[in-house]
Amino acid sequence: MSNKMWGGRFGEGPDRIMEEINASIGFDQRFFAQDIRGSKAHCRMLAETGIISREDADQIVAGLDAVLAEIEGGAFEFRRELEDIHMNVEARLAELIGAAAGRLHTARSRNDQVATDFKLYVRDTIDHLDGQLADFQRALLDRAEEHADTIMPGFTHLQTAQPVTFGHHCMAYVEMAGRDRGRFADARRRLNECPLGAAALAGTSFPIDRHRTAAELGFDGPTRNSLDSVSDRDFVLETLSAAAICATHLSRLAEEIVIWSTPGFDFVRLTDGFTTGSSIMPQKRNPDAAELVRAKSGRVIGDLTSLLIVMKGLPLAYSKDMQEDKEAAFDALDALSLSLAAMTGMVTTLTVNEKSMRAAASRGFSTATDLADWLVRALGLPFRQAHHVTGALVAKAEKRGVDLDGLTLAEMQEVEPGITDEVYSVLGVDNSVASRTSFGGTAPGNVRAAVRRWRDELGS
């Protein structure tokens, strides 16, 4: 008796272990909507070109709608021996409508079918992630507007550098998310060519209309080389590359939230909804949501690396290795989506301790650069000399255990006689922040203007 899937070429079914390693229905069943959508478009095209009859096409489309309803209703039985979503759908279609179902696979292969399904799925997922990123940006914009005047220390090397505002800090992540959205949009634009009709690898001798199928599925047009059509997974790699960069951005913010929520910083407090306790230490409020976002970035990066390694040694056209593309993509995109939801929730609900932020900004000689700039403007010193004078004043203040504005005028004049009491006007953190009015700077007015620009861009 011949194998049901492979026809007369094989006399026996696969070994149990072969069935185990070969089956993908356990994960590719999530393609069901895309698979049925692609099959309906293919079927209608076959009828319009006269390759199959209108009557058969109508039966097939109605049957596919019935299969879709079964899957969405939870009544569909996915069968492992049928390997994948394509064969599961086709087998059930045959049970529902009989012999006409066998005409659906005319002029296509599972190779171009899965490439089309995967592109449709990735495209849908990019659209979903773009919406999530826009929500993340809006949450950040709300906090930036609320805290345009809230002073905090800006860091380099995690050492106090210069005062900034918390609003300005939030806006940095708005910019990052904007670039993430741009990368996803670029990936979407490049993937938007339809592989359906490339068949196994060489095209088909049937008079199909690939432009018609591509248009129905919302693609810009058909792919232009049948070999490339079925072997290309650049669209997955590019999307996972964008996802990895985005996850890295989220991880950086997650790390800052972890640091900021420690008692040593006390800059922010997460709500109970995004923290957990300890089984032994009753005082603990652990920032687990932020820590998990930080960790999930490693999964996304790992999934990208995994797929790159799968693809790097494959000749044209299709190889079964490419079945390993889906789980990595599903895992990465699921992890990123969950991370975006968690981070948006944390940003929206966290409490900002303005007093702690301001106190920290006032420590660590954060206005040293303002002093050096004043020496250049007021006394005409070359910046390198002003830098040296400021460094000497910092050392003097550190030795005395005070900040720069704790030095007396006489003590400052011991280092640079030309210093006047006007210098104290630049040593406060408020003056420092207010002075940073250059485009992209941290001045509160700049922050509010940036918020307005982004709100206009987001259409809110």
List residues with catalytic annotation. Answer: 157, 278
Q: Are strands 159-165 and 151-156 parallel, antiparallel or unpaired?
A: antiparallel
Provide the β-strand partners of residue 154. 162
Instruction: Tell how far CA 118 is from the center of its chain.
Output: 18
Nearest to 285 by CA among 301, 274, 294, 300: 274
Nearest to 267 by CA among 360, 145, 165, 400: 360
Q: How far apart are CA 331 and CA 334, in angstroms?
A: 5
AA identity, residue 440: G
Written as six digits, the tokens of 224 are 């232009």
The per-type count for the chain, helices as H runs and strands as E runs, is 18, 6
Q: How far apart are CA 32 and CA 101, in angstroms?
A: 17
Instruction: Tell how far CA 188 is from the center of its chain.
Output: 13
DSSP H/E element including 292: helix 288-311
What is the maximum span of the chain, computed from C-alpha positions, in angstroms? 103
Check if the beta carbon of residue 27 is closer than 8 Å to that of residue 327.
Answer: yes
Residues contacting 380, CB < 8 A, separation 6+: none
Written as six digits, the tokens of 451 are 């918020």
Kindly give the interhelix angle for 32-48 and 110-146, rounded to the nearest 10 degrees: 130
Written as six digits, the tokens of 458 are 């987001």
**DSSP state at residue 8:** T
3-state secondary structure of 15: coil
Q: How far apart are CA 23 and CA 323, in angstroms?
A: 9
- Taking the CA atoms of residue 278, residue 281, residue 285 and residue 288 in that order, the dihedral angle to the nearest 10 degrees is -30
- Dihedral sign (CA 312, 313, 319, 320): negative
Q: How far apart are CA 150 and CA 373, in angstroms?
A: 23
Provide the β-strand partners of residue 151. 165
